[in-house]
Amino acid sequence: PTPRQAVAWVVLANQWPCRLSWALQCLEDRQQTGGAPEGRARLWDVFRDNSRELHTMTKALQNVLDLDGDPELFERFLGADFPFTVAEAQSLLRCTVNLDHSIRRRMGLIRAVSAL
């Protein structure tokens, strides 16, 4: 990743920890079931494809969702300004220290329970 991408990733993790964690959790779940998107697929598309499910969990995740900034800015940031690919996200995630990983664990548990 370029320095510009690294800075954008830090901003993404700071401003939208819940939405970023959701996209990463959905990506991880798809990889575990063997249906992972190609590396050049956009992280925004992973989020968008699973956003309806996130919306149904709003009540269970309300205190975590409150950590996020403006959802419309998130869409513009990840969908247009910095359209990270899945491969770029996976590369950047390895060196991400400013994202609370407990958010993703909680989402994974809620998602697993709702799938039962």
Q: SS3 breakdown of the chain: % helix, strand, coil, rounded to 5?
A: 70, 0, 30
CA 24 remoteness from chain centre: 4
| Backbone phi and psi for residue 108, each to the nearest 5 degrees, phi listed first | -60, -40
Enumerate the β-bridge partners of residue 42.
85
How far is Cα 111 from Cα 116, in angstroms, rounded to an integer? Answer: 9
**Positions of the chain with pLDDT lower than 50, given as ranges:** none
Q: Which domain holds residue 53?
A: 3-115
Provide the whole-model pTM.
0.90
pLDDT digits (tens, 9 = 90+) for 10-32: 999 999 999 999 999 999 998 88
Which structure tokens are listed for 42?
């956009």
